[in-house]
Copies of this chain bind each other. A is one copy, B any other.
Amino acid sequence: MNGPKMTQRKNPDIAPAIFYNMDLCPTRAVFSKLSGKWPVLIITHLSFGSHRFSELLGAIPDISQRMLTQTLRSLERDGMAIRTATASIPPRVDYRLSELGQSYLEGLESILQWSLKSRAEIEAAQAAYDDRAAAKIAKAS
């Protein structure tokens, strides 16, 4: 039997074990929460600067007011976004990324850039896989 072929890992201290249990593993919880669709969309949007609640609501066509409120509150509670309420008439509420939130952008953009760069290769792999599956079915029938 062959042993596992070890690949080059930049950070070998991140063992899979740390992700196994959501309760025991806050890192997995942090990653799961912040890599969700809505947090990523809102964080990406705030990376361009401070925005009012209504601007965010208008800019993200498929988000509900309730989901936007919830996600912003969660980002504020996690220290990722800063909420500023101005006692004007009408009152206004702005959101911007905290330093912590900005520090998240580098890794996030690295993954998004990878997705952008790798899309064609992934689509080619999917087409090849589907062709092989179709050929297998044709051969069996």
Contact = CB atoms under 8 A, between A and B. Distances in A.
Interface of A: 2-11, 14, 16, 18-21, 26-28, 30-32, 34-35, 37, 40-41, 44-45, 47-51, 59-62, 76-80, 96-97, 100, 102-116, 118-119, 121-126, 128-130
A51 B4 contact: yes
A89 to B, nearest CB: 14
Nearest to A37: B32
Given A100-B121, A105-B10, A112-B27, A44 B60 contact: no
A50 B4 contact: yes
A30 B113 contact: no
A6 B51 CA distance: 10
